[in-house]
């Protein structure tokens, strides 16, 4: 793999932010033809390091070498000109433009005449070749998060980078699609491309990587080959302690029906059918998992349940009371909480502080408010308690949430939604709350994933009804009581989690009756 002439070498990289040393003297070598996994907790410095390599940040100290030559990147364009492409965890797409327009952004050719039909045809062929289905003519805002991530992958491949950085690329893929991506990555490596594969899934290290580098607290803990290690050792290197890989989910008898949907039909953002005569129910002390490939109606289901999207027909009942097409505020007042798939776009206000984001559902209530005015002392005490209870790591409660790692972003959302769903000032009384959680552990490391799953199970044990939408089948089977599979807006079937077969679920996700 050309160890004597690495495609990428980073020496002594240091990067500081206010109150945080994100990268502390990091060395990294990636050879041409190598798939190199980068592991670490959220906040360990992985994305910062790769943003430096991609030209988005400038290091405070250290040097980068590309194919043995020292380089200095002042912008992403400089990095792209040296053959570096990055698929970011938080997407870098223009929502008002089409898939094809986004993919050709930044290219120097053609200069005078754009044959968009030809571009779309080429993208469609690439999408089919790589198993990343997406409509080249769709606008980005019309796509689900999973489909947007496919666009990012296609864009990097379309630009022909020979050093490709993939940040959580399989987070929204089915097992079959993930395996197809592994084959694509192996093929690219065989052609001599260097691949840096950031992932929180330890299994991916053993499926695809030639070597793995583990970061913790901004420092390199070690670099080794997958056949020299195991899950337990890698997890211990990542988080500095033993990690439980099995979720302790004790048997919990379900209670009364909390949410009942009957014959729901709804349209997606393109005006096409997204939900087709869908019926389901969730009981207190139950987690109902929804499995399916991105774009098969899961997002629309979550939005109908939380009041963000109107149903064209059908009914929705909460504790036996009709709430069909109620407003989001009315759903909140009835004890419905929502952990959305897009943390920064929908779940949080990036420029607001942790404190302001955590009170978004409670600021009208005593003791946080006194009449028309906010009580800052009460808010400070309230937020300090949430930061401690939910393990939010940040310099202060006044830190803008846009500066937080993915795991801490999710903890802020969960802190707000779980406390609101528990009946703090929302009028829910003693009725079981409903929590709609969409991809709650996407992009999180093993430690943060363990924490989030435990929080969900604790809520279920406390009597909450939870609608869990995820494309991670292992997660669905680990913490759900029942798993329902969606395809093309329809419910293909529902099975008890302990009796579920991944192969059968995968077939149902592909639209096959089993």
The string of pLDDT tens digits covering residues 177-192 is 677 778 888 888 888 8
> 126-163 as b/e, with b when 16 or more CB fall inside 10 Å?
bbeebbbebbbebbbebbbbbbbbbbbbbbbbbbebbb
CA torsion sign for 232, 237, 238, 240 is: positive
**Residue 392 shares a structural domain with residue 471:** yes
Q: What is the pLDDT, as a whole number, of residue 175?
A: 63
**Residue 271 shares a structural domain with residue 202:** no
Q: State the CATH number of the domain containing residue 262.
A: 3.40.50.300
Final residue of a domain: which of 205, 239, 273?
A: 239
**Residue 194 shares a structural domain with residue 102:** yes
Q: What is the pLDDT, as a whole number, of residue 383?
A: 92
**Residue 226 shares a structural domain with residue 266:** no
Q: Which residues of the chain have pLDDT under 70?
A: 1-5, 89-90, 110-112, 131, 145-146, 171-177, 242-248, 421-430, 443, 445, 514
Task: For 433, list phi and psi in degrees, rounded to 5.
Answer: -75, 160
How far apart, in whole angstroms, are the C-alpha atoms of residue 449 and residue 442? 8
Write out the residue range of the structural domain in which residue 308 sits: 257-509
**Residue 105 shares a structural domain with residue 45:** yes
Cβ count near 474 (within 10 Å): 12
Report residue 123 as tokens.
């993208």
Question: Is the residue at 480 inside a domain?
Answer: yes
Question: Is the residue at 99 inside a domain?
Answer: yes
**Residue 131 shares a structural domain with residue 231:** yes
Q: What is the pLDDT, as a whole number, of residue 145?
A: 66
Residues 6+ apart with CB under 8 A from 75: 55
Q: What is the pLDDT, as a whole number, of residue 2?
A: 43
How far apart, in whole angstroms, are the C-alpha atoms of residue 194 and residue 121? 27
Peptide bond into 225 cis (omega under 30): no
Q: What is the pLDDT, as a whole number, of residue 218?
A: 92
- Our measurement of the distance from residue 54's CA atom to the centroid of its chain's CA atoms, rounded to an integer in Å, reads 21
Q: What is the pLDDT, as a whole number, of residue 427?
A: 40
Q: Which H helix or E strand runs over 276?
A: strand 273-283
Q: What is the pLDDT, as a whole number, of residue 249?
A: 73
Residues 6+ apart with CB under 8 A from 380: 355, 397
C-alpha to C-alpha distances, 394 to 148, 328, 382, 411, 454, nearest whole angstrom: 29, 30, 16, 11, 21
How far apart, in whole angstroms, are the C-alpha atoms of residue 131 and residue 169? 13
**Residue 358 shares a structural domain with residue 423:** yes
CA distance from start to end of the chain: 44
Peptide bond into 35 cis (omega under 30): no
**Residue 299 shares a structural domain with residue 191:** no
How far apart, in whole angstroms, are the C-alpha atoms of residue 61 and residue 431? 56
Report residue 396 as tokens.
């202060």
Q: What is the pLDDT, as a whole number, of residue 468?
A: 97
Using CB atoms within 10 A of its CB, is residue 84 exposed (0-12), middle (13-18) or buried (19+)?
buried
How far apart, in whole angstroms, are the C-alpha atoms of residue 364 and residue 357? 14
Q: What is the pLDDT, as a whole number, of residue 428?
A: 42
**Residue 211 shares a structural domain with residue 265:** no
**Residue 276 shares a structural domain with residue 377:** yes
Residues 6+ apart with CB under 8 A from 161: 80, 83, 84, 85, 193
Question: Is the residue at 249 inside a domain?
Answer: no
Q: What is the pLDDT, as a whole number, of residue 423?
A: 43
Q: What is the pLDDT, as a whole number, of residue 287?
A: 96
Indicate yes or no: pTM above 0.95: no
């Amino acid at each position: 793999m050309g160890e004597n002439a690495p495609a990428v070498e980073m020496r002594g990289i240091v990067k500081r932010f206010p109150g945080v040393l994100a990268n502390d003297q990091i060395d990294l070598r990636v050879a041409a033809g190598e798939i190199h996994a980068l592991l670490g907790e959220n906040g360990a410095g992985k994305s910062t390091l790769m943003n430096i390599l991609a030209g988005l940040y400038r290091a405070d100290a250290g040097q980068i070498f590309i194919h043995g030559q020292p380089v200095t990147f002042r912008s992403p364009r400089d990095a792209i000109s040296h053959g570096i492409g990055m698929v970011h965890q938080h997407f870098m797409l223009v929502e008002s433009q089409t898939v094809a327009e986004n993919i050709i952004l930044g290219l120097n050719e053609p200069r005078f005449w754009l044959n968009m039909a030809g571009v779309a045809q080429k993208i469609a062929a690439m999408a089919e070749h790589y198993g990343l289905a997406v409509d080249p003519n769709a606008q980005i805002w019309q796509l689900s998060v999973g489909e947007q991530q496919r666009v990012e992958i296609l864009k990097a491949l379309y630009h022909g980078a020979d050093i490709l950085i993939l940040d959580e690329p399989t987070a929204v893929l089915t097992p079959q699609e993930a395996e197809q991506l592994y084959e694509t990555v192996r093929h690219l490596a065989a052609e001599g491309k260097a691949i840096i594969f950031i992932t929180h899934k330890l299994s991916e290290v053993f499926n695809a990587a030639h070597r793995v580098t583990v970061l913790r607290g901004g420092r390199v803990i070690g670099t080794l080959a997958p056949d020299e290690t195991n899950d337990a050792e890698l997890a211990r290197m990542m988080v500095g302690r033993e990690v439980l890989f099995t979720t302790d989910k004790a048997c919990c008898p379900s209670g009364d029906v909390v949410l009942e949907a009957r014959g729901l039909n709804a349209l997606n953002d393109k005006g096409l059918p997204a939900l087709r005569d869908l019926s389901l129910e969730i009981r207190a002390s139950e987690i109902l998992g929804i499995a399916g490939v991105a774009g098969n109606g899961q997002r629309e289901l979550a939005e109908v349940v939380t009041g963000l999207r109107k149903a064209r027909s059908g009914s929705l009942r909460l504790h036996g009371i009709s709430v069909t097409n109620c407003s989001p505020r009315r759903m909140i007042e009835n004890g419905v909480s929502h952990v959305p798939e897009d943390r920064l776009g929908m779940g949080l206000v990036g420029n607001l502080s942790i404190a302001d984001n955590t009170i978004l559902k409670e600021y009208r209530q005593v003791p946080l408010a006194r009449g028309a005015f906010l009580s800052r002392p009460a808010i400070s005490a309230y937020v300090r308690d949430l930061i401690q209870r939910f393990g939010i790591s940040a310099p202060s409660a006044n830190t803008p949430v846009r500066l937080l790692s993915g795991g801490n972003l999710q903890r802020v959302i969960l802190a707000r939604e779980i406390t609101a769903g528990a009946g703090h000032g929302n009028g829910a009384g003693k009725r079981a709350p409903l929590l709609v959680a969409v991809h709650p552990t996407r992009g999180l490391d093993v430690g943060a994933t363990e924490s989030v799953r435990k929080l969900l199970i604790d809520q279920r044990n406390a009597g909450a009804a939870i609608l869990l939408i995820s494309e991670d089948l292992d997660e669905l089977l680990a913490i759900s009581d029942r798993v329902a599979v969606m395809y093309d807006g329809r419910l293909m079937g529902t099975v008890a989690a302990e009796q579920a077969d991944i192969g059968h679920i995968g077939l149902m996700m592909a639209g096959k009756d089993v």
